[in-house]
Structure 1
Amino acid sequence: MNIKLIALDMDGTLLNMEGTISDVNRELIAQALDKGVYVVLSTGRWLESCYPYAESLKLDSYLVTCNGGEIWTVDKKLIERHLLAPDRVNMMWDLCRGLDVNTWLVSTDNIWYGNRRPDNFSDHEWLKLGCDSHDTEKLDEIVKELSYYDDLELTNSLPTNIEINPKGVSKASALERVCEELGITMQQVLAAGDSLNDIKMIQAAGVGVAMGNAQDAIKQAADYVTETNEQDGVGKAIEKFVL
């Protein structure tokens, strides 16, 4: 394999259940970097939530955040951004709260946890809305209602949540832009993840890796299923395909 870039989801993939990077994963990422391979965090998280991990790994290229809603350099230069219309965010918040489903909102200037909302949605630029519930019927109802809007991209990062971005936004499309910037192709990418917001990048990559703890659909879409995030699955995939 001629892998030039490793794209890693964070929660459920690079990070263990304690939210940390294992020594094994850290060492094998360092070996890949020493070999001249780019390592890119490709996550549903927003910039400030993932940046400390990039710093600790000494990454030197790009960060894909908010499921592809933003692309940043590690020097915090914004390369690309995709926004939701404020009235759409308002509508989705009302829908979720009407069904008593928990919400979180990500704007370019704030994170609105715990069903919080701004006084005026139009005062902010919106990257993503998320909601979660253990009542799958409520989540199904939200998916059904939002499916009528052709400007929305629906995915999840856990079976118990829904994440909504602007239409066309995905980790795959963001990684294609990163590849253009670096002068490589998606066939030279290894992408690893565990949830539906990872499936497009896993399908588009030269080597698509599903975690052992991944949702079944991700395992079916992947070229290879590695160990779980508690068993250094990322490091083992790097060792197999890159080093």
Structure 2
Amino acid sequence: MKLIATDLDGTLLNEKGNVSLENAQAIRKALDMGIQVVVATGRSYDAANKPIQEVGLSLPIISLNGANTYTKEKELIRDIPMDRSICKKIQTVCEEENMYFEVFTNKGIFSLSRDDFKQVIMDIMMTAHPTISKEEIELAVEQRFQDEEVQFISNYDELFKDKNINIYKILAFSLDNSTLQKVRETFTDHSSVKITSSGSINLEFNDPQAQKGIALSLFAESQNISMQDVMALGDNYNDLSMLTLAGRGVAMGNAEEGIKQQCDFITKENKQNGVAYAIEEMLKEVNLS
């Protein structure tokens, strides 16, 4: 293996949203052995870089599911915005279905309602952790405001008209599975959008070229690395394109069952330092070969 690509939420980050000491040490060990490491996440660049920097690491980052790729020196080397006409279509459909959604752009993240934003975060926390306390939920809401700087606007019309704005991802939420499925099916025949998911209650809309697998393949190629020499780690469906293209696709122990079925390896859960375990297991095989 010459390159490791890791997702963040549910993968490299533990249940507290941090990179554990064990995971950071394993990454440093791989780097010291000449193995490159890149982050591939649905997060914006700033939100992705923050937990990496907190443990003293400086890594290339594929953000917004592959819409942007940055070097470890923070240079943007790949930029894949969405078509504006499909953004308007997504807006119309989501509004018809009463779905809360956010728009990720080169000028930050935009939402229409701070109250709806807070309610969505609370719903996510309660769905993932039914026994969580009100105090913990409130802390999680405030943490989201810190992780992703969301700007609140009165409507999206002006945003979509602004030619200085590049739209990279639209993230929509619903607690109703039938609504999620209906919206997904609406875009089945639209070749200008790719829909994935990073959780059971959301849909992520990107340009078809803005996929983790495509971005990772191009990054590996730029480093003269074959995808057979890449290990990719993830837990959800927005990771699938890179997990299936990598020579060593590793599903987290907490990954969706459908993800596990399409990977050759399954590591421990994110709260059990699963990334560190996967790296150590891979390094053992490298040393034995």
TM-score range, shorter chain: over 0.9
TM-score between the two structures when normalised by the length of structure 2: 0.80
Say yes or no: does 1:98 pair with 2:96: yes
What is the CA–CA distance in structure 2 between the aligned matches of 1:91 and 1:103, rounded to whole Å? Answer: 13
CA contact (8 A) 1:69 1:127 kept: yes
CA distance in 2, matches of 1:60, 1:46: 16
- The one-letter amino acid paired with 1:118 is Y
Q: Which runs of 4+ in 1 moved over 4 A?
A: 57-61, 114-117
- 1:44-75 CA distance string (max 9 Å, x none): 01111112233345545521111011111122
The whole-number CA distance in structure 2 between the counterparts of 1:161 and 1:74 is 29
Superposed, which structure 2 residues align to 1:201-212 within 5 Å?
A: 201-212=242-253
- Distance in 2 between the 1:64 and 1:21 partners? 17
CA contact (8 A) 1:4 1:38 kept: yes
Aligned length: 241
- On the 8 A contact 1:105/1:112 being kept in 2, the answer is yes
Matched, 1:122 2:161: yes
Question: SS where residue 87 of structure 1 aligns?
Answer: helix
CA distance in 1: counterparts of 2:283 and 2:239, whole angstroms: 20
Any gaps of 5 or more consecutive residues in structure 1? none
Greater shift in the superposed pair: 186-195 or 86-95: 86-95
What is residue 190 of structure 1 aligned with on the other side? 231
Which region of structure 1 is more displaced relative to structure 2, 229-238 or 159-168? 159-168
Matches of 1:65 and 1:78, distance apart in 2: 10
Tell me, yes or no, if the aligned pair for 2:80 and 2:209 is still in contact at 8 Å.
Answer: no
| SS of residue matched to 1:12 | helix
SS at match of 2:27: helix
1:41 touches 1:54 (CA, 8 Å); kept in 2? no
Kept after mapping to 1: 8 A contact 2:213/2:241? yes
Report SS of the residue matched to 1:51.
helix
Indicate if the aligned counterparts of 1:87 and 1:122 stay in contact, CA closer than 8 A.
Answer: no
Distance 1:201 1:142 in 2: 24
More displaced stretch, 116-125 vs 13-22: 116-125
- For 1:116-144, what per-residue CA distance to the aligned partner results, in whole angstroms no more than 9, with x for missing partners? 54341121211011111110011011001
Q: What is the percent sequence identity of the aligned residues? A: 33
- Give, in whole Å, the separation in 2 of the partners of 1:142 and 1:181: 36
Larger radius of gyration: 2
Q: Distance in 1 between matches of 2:112 and 2:238?
A: 22
Q: Match of 2:19?
A: 21
Q: Distance in 2 between matches of 1:15 and 1:209?
A: 15
Partner of 1:41: 39
Deviation at residue 97 of structure 1 after TM alignment? 1.9
Alpha-carbon deviation of 1:89?
Answer: 1.2
Query: Amino acid of the residue matched to residue 208 of structure 2?
Result: K
Local SS of the residue matching 2:10: coil
Given that residues 132 and 162 in structure 1 are in contact (C-alpha distance below 8 angstroms), is that contact kept between their aligned partners in structure 2?
A: yes
Instruction: Tell me, in whole angstroms, the C-alpha distance in 2 between the residues paired with 1:61 and 1:229.
Output: 19
The answer to whether the 8 Å contact 1:39/1:59 transfers is no
Given that 1:59 and 1:74 are in contact with CA atoms closer than 8 Å, whether structure 2 keeps it comes out as: no
Q: Secondary structure at the match of 2:25?
A: helix
Provide the secondary structure at the position in 2 that maps to 1:242. Answer: helix
Kindly report which structure 2 residues correspond to 1:1-243, keeping only aligned pairs within 5 A, or say none: 3-60=1-58, 62-113=60-111, 117-120=155-158, 121-123=160-162, 124-242=165-283
Structure 2: which amino acid aligns with 1:34?
Answer: D
Confirm or deny: 8 A CA contact 1:62 1:178 kept in the other structure. no
What is the TM-score of this pair, normalised by structure 1? Answer: 0.94
CA distance in 1, matches of 2:54, 2:185: 41
* Superposition RMSD in Å: 1.5
What's the CA shift string for 1:163-218, capped at 9, x where partnerless?
01111321111011111111111111110000001111111111100001111111
Conservation of the 8 A alpha-carbon contact between 1:30 and 1:57:
no
